[in-house]
Structure 1
């Protein structure tokens, strides 16, 4: 009797140990191909209709966006560490917290479209196609940087990406010029021109608005409103903080910049508007930066630690996307953890390169002054030393 009872118990335990494993295996393979999500409705200015309130996210898109956002987040955290270790010198402006903006914008345009931005450029450099090692090596001033170590944090460039500009707001009329080139050449291309809420008060923006509207340029003017300029809240610096309404003759929309899907759909809408020949459009992305304005700004003298922590806990763009992916069965937590590990390795490998690659030699100081020219002598600070400019 005891032997029979023991055998029965053994069979039950054996089945019990096998069933969960079987369920896990089935669940791991039974991913959804796509899922539909509701997104926050955009506020509109001089528009009868705006982007849709629902959107479809495929499994492939979800994993791609997650990887890109995690890469930008960890790249910026590594840049913070390298700066404190004095591998990075000079100006450095980080964009962690704003990952949904750069990833969502790239997801809504074509690779042949054009992007220009301010000095907070690392995330957009990456989403435009500059590899992590090229960005980190540029930050450390190495020869393998995306601007050969000469640009640093504020001056990064890539294909159809025009920086990284150091003067507040100066990239906006340049963006209008790029849009003019798109129209002049007759190509079905647009230019995304980004600036911050602090730069939104610069006079040259309104000159660019005027010209873009007169000539119906395919330009999307995008204000990344992260709520604070250089240590000053938007409310203290601007009489009108509704940045999407800043022009009485250009339509605008205000977007949840912490939701990558909301940003994607909004820029798709704006891009279609510009491509149709209607002229420019304004977009305000409501976002948040976790670090201070720059590395010299601790970021807590004009806002509280509690405020930053509340945004992290309730409205973090990566966490929002992760919850959507997992809850809709587009991927498992374990799969996302594998991506996290791969991203960490990529960042560490890029860091090794950025701290060991040689600095550009002195004789290359005058190179690349012009894109296409025969070599010519460049006078340096010391009149007895001559450099050659080589394209």
Structure 2
């Protein structure tokens, strides 16, 4: 049965009912297909409808797979967190608009990546909570026509026992049968995660660019030869596949959004395509994150000396002089440094604007990466400025 189908999942439901009916007939010693003994509709489908069994089955399927997705995401978070500690002593140039900004520690960059993934985990967990409410017993449109109250109570309890998932009956079965916003919430949380992962992958590709004519601030584990024509070339294939999976998840999210919006009145008939795309996103996000954590992030190394050399030669450290010399003077120093190819420190000393001792503190790269004003103790007091 094709997963994308009309009928709101009726084909899948009836196929399952027929398989169950024939298996029951077989156990009872009857002839396969003899529905006078066990009927797919009268017996197997008793107190049920596709419109409650299909979405309930989908929720169970999603929640069964969600554990693996969360585990893979936590694995990425853990590896990023470990790198943030390992690289905390790596001083480098931070960038905005792809231009030199101010110094930053590489550990701070990886810590930011980890925090973004942490928030994605929180969103996923919250979205999964909304899927615990099922509409089993709602039958056709949520009014529970032909569903005995005892059945509804028992089926939820049995599903909890079988699945190990803390399912509960939705408070409003009419609402739960026609609205699919909980699917959109989950899809959105996966899109958000994909956006975070893709951004991290973009950064890693740029930071590892080179090896001689790029940034080359980090080294990514080498996975395979990068070219069929260029000898020795190695490409960042793991971040590239993370990008591509992220694009697919974003596309899947659009389908889920459109399908959810396309419901009419008491039923959303587009649930099959919602199911297909949600499960696809869960599967590929789970797989790619395992690979990302194990075969990429874990093996990243930093080119410490290269990073330090670049940040020390950058004019952008002049920003730390703003509180001491003012923006206008600092700007003039920056322009002169770029025009002459000189270091900011040397120009300040030549102009006798600050002492060696003061510059040792104010232009200390590690201090610049901390909150506050580097060399605050050297700032002139209000009465000294007068």
The interval holding the TM-score normalised by the smaller chain is: under 0.3
Larger Rg: 2
Bigger helix fraction: 2
The alignment's TM-score, normalised by the length of structure 1, stands at 0.21
Bigger strand fraction: 1
The alignment's TM-score, normalised by the length of structure 2, stands at 0.21
